[in-house]
Homo-oligomer: A and B are copies of this chain.
Amino acid sequence: MERLGVEVVAFDVNETLFSLERLRPAFTEVGLDPGLVPLWFARVLRDGFALTAVGEFAAFADVAAETLRGLDPSGIDDAAVATVLGAFGELEPHPDAEPALVLLRNAGVRVVTLTNGSAELVGRLLVRAGLGRYVERSLSVDSVRRWKPAPQVYLYAAEATGVAPGQVALVAAHAWDCDGARRAGLRTGWVARSERRRPQFFLAPDVEGDELPDVAARLLDAPSEPL
């Protein structure tokens, strides 16, 4: 049976490799209800996608800052915005991230990250978490000035790693990310950790699993045709 032939795995970062849990105490610190983190993150993506849908772009940090200010129009000062955005530099990896990275590297698969955020920030997160040794390169949408799920981003990941789109697998905790990657011609793996349930209006991933090592192992074992 022929395998997928994935040569590069591109991991999404926020919620996929790294937990957003660290944002909760940052919200508390600046007087915001930490229960608002999911609403905030959904609105950041909503607004970033709105710009993408009209062919425009703003940096993640700018969308995050403005959207944060919108959570409490009575006033969120610059210091509070800096505190919350600074917490993105202190995200902790999910415990299943390193085993998945080890599994892929041991199988000779190259690993990169592909984020709607900043490549430089992700590079620092990886080093801080001791994961830098597994990751060849941190790629960001800043290079193409479109957010995922625009096809340009996924094709850029293939181009930057020097392989065909079909030899790159995007692994993400978000069904919209897998959908976009698959439409651009990549292979995809969805980890169920935060969404649990995949909306049926998005294309199914090639493989899925409850934890990242499951997803990684299935990417290596998956037949070249969908089951």
Q: Which residues of A contact B (CB under 8 A)?
A: 35, 38-39, 42-43, 45-47, 49-54, 56, 58, 62-63, 66-67, 69-70, 73, 147, 149-151, 176, 179-180, 183, 195-197, 199-202
In the complex, residue of chain B having the shortest beta-carbon distance to the beta carbon of A40: B42
**Shortest distance in angstroms between A57's beta carbon and chain B's nearest beta carbon?**
9
Which residue in B66, B183, B199 is a CB contact (below 8 Å) of A70? B199
User: A42-B42, A201-B58 are known contacts. Are A149 and B53 too (CB-CB below 8 A)?
Assistant: yes
Asked whether B53 lies within 8 Å of A53 as measured between CB atoms, the reply is yes
Which residue in B49, B66, B200 is a CB contact (below 8 Å) of A200? B66
Interchain CA distance A183-B50 in the complex, whole Å: 12
In the complex, residue of chain B having the shortest beta-carbon distance to the beta carbon of A200: B66
Q: Which residues of B contact A197 (CB under 8 A)?
A: 69-70, 73
Asked whether A56 lies within 8 Å of B199 as measured between CB atoms, the reply is no
Can you give 11 A-B contacts (C-beta < 8 A)?
A45-B46, A46-B49, A47-B202, A49-B49, A51-B202, A53-B147, A54-B149, A62-B201, A67-B199, A70-B199, A73-B195
Asked whether A180 lies within 8 Å of B149 as measured between CB atoms, the reply is no
User: A70-B195, A196-B70, A196-B73 are known contacts. Are A201 and B51 too (CB-CB below 8 A)?
Assistant: yes
Interchain CA distance A191-B57 in the complex, whole Å: 24
Q: Which residues of B contact A53 (CB under 8 A)?
A: 49, 52-53, 147, 149-150, 180
Asked whether B62 lies within 8 Å of A176 as measured between CB atoms, the reply is no
Q: Which residues of B contact A35 (CB under 8 A)?
A: 35
In the complex, residue of chain B having the shortest beta-carbon distance to the beta carbon of A69: B197
**Shortest distance in angstroms between A85's beta carbon and chain B's nearest beta carbon?**
15
Which residue in B63, B183, B201 is a CB contact (below 8 Å) of A66? B201
Since A54-B151, A54-B180 are in contact, a sample of 14 more A-B pairs with Cβ atoms closer than 8 Å, ordered by chain A residue number, is A42-B43, A43-B46, A47-B199, A47-B202, A49-B49, A49-B53, A50-B180, A50-B202, A53-B53, A53-B149, A54-B179, A58-B201, A69-B197, A73-B195
